[in-house]
Amino acid sequence: MAVHTTLPYRFFLSIALLSITAVSEPTDLTTELVSLRSSSESGVIRLNDVSKFITSVATPRPYSLIIFFNSIDLNSNPLQNFRREFGFVSASFIANNNNRSDVTNKLFFCEIDSSDSESFHRFGIQSLPQICLVDPSMENLRHHERGMMEEADVDGTAESVAEFVESRTKLTVGPIHRPPLLSKTQIGVIASLIAISAPFLIKKFLKGETFLHDSRFWQYGAVLVYFFSVSGTMHNIINSIPMYLRDPEDSNRLVFFYEEPEIQLGAEALSVGLLYTGVGLLLAYVTDALVRVRNVNEQRVAMVLVMVVSFLAVKRVVYLNNWKTGYQIQMYWPSSWQ
């Protein structure tokens, strides 16, 4: 009788222990993730074991992982700058939801380096940068495409990552907290220097010996205003136009000129603005300085050089316009020349 009584007891005890283990394992993993996050300065976890926190855990998991795929060996400044922006999102998410473990423990920011080739292969990562959100219900990593951040949204800013996180997880990241440009010590030193030099600067200003009284300062300033005007800098700032894009086929290659009329990168605008400014300065030289040269031969040589350089600059602008828009500028010659 003792044997028959003990067997059912042991059977139900085993079932209970398995149930407790199955329930407590995700909780233990969450605790471990919290511990790993607290040991990181920005809260980004270096994920070295994908199977432990993803594939070996029954779905739905009590947490989501947003993973930044990085390559330290790549030595790419744009990639590392994006990684730093990703860290700002992680730190801001923790700071804005402080003392709310019910929120912060639902999402963990992670990083996988290219040295972990097995993880890269599991996620099918072939180019960088890539960001993937592993939600609680994702069972097979081969279906990771649904959690990948769209390439068009990867613009290298923390705001784009925060928008992606909020749209997919329904969690609030909050405002992005970036470190100040100057530390309190640097601000104190600058304030002290200003306070010490203020009497001397005021004295020079009253005597008319500052750069504000120098006409060359205003000349250079006028050239800069002209350059920023013809290069469309204000338009680029208002619309947050990127200076360049990454080649989708080769992440190490940067694209500065984009062959589409709908998109104009910052590098394109600055290049064309530089050509315009060069032609404008040459015209200013001809009308203001060259006319004062007494030697006629020198005037002629300088005028020919100005015309050649201006022609090449304008020709380059026309070429870029034709290449980008496909619109050919028609030339209209006098009827007597035809």
Residues 6+ apart with CB under 8 A from 205: 212
146-187 pLDDT, tens per residue?
Answer: 788 887 777 788 898 999 999 888 899 999 998 888 888 989
pLDDT for 23: 39
pTM of the predicted model over 0.85:
no
Q: Which long-range contacts (CB under 8 A, 24 or more apart) does 34-38 make?
A: 34/101, 34/105, 37/94, 37/108, 37/109
CA distance 318 to 209: 45
Is 50 within 8 Å of 122 (Cβ atoms)? Answer: yes
pLDDT at residue 309, as a whole number: 92
- From the options 3.40.1380.20, 3.50.50.60, 3.40.605.10, 3.40.30.10, give the CATH code of 26-169: 3.40.30.10
- 63-119 pLDDT per residue, tens: 999 999 988 877 667 788 889 999 999 999 999 988 788 888 899 999 998 888 888
Give the pLDDT of residue 251.
Answer: 66
DSSP 113: E
Could you tell me how many residues make up the chain? 338
Is the model's pLDDT at 1 over the cut of 70?
A: no
Question: Does residue 3 carry a pLDDT above 70?
Answer: no
* Model confidence pLDDT, tens digit, residues 206-233: 888 888 888 888 889 999 998 888 888 8
Instruction: Enumerate residues 6+ apart whose C-beta is below 8 A from 250.
Output: 127
- 8 A C-beta contact, residue 277 and residue 223: yes
Place of tokens 């180019």: 127
Q: Which tens digit of pLDDT belongs to each residue from 231-251?
A: 888 887 777 777 877 776 776
pLDDT mean across residues, the chain: 82
Provide the residue ranges of all domains of the chain, joining segments of one domain with +: 26-169, 201-325
More confident residue, 274 or 323: 274
Q: For the residues 200-207, what does the mean pLDDT come to?
A: 86
Please tell me the predicted confidence (pLDDT) of residue 338. Answer: 59
pLDDT digit string, tens, across residues 244-274: 777 767 767 787 887 777 677 888 888 888 9
Cβ–Cβ contacts within 10 Å for residue 40, how many?
A: 16
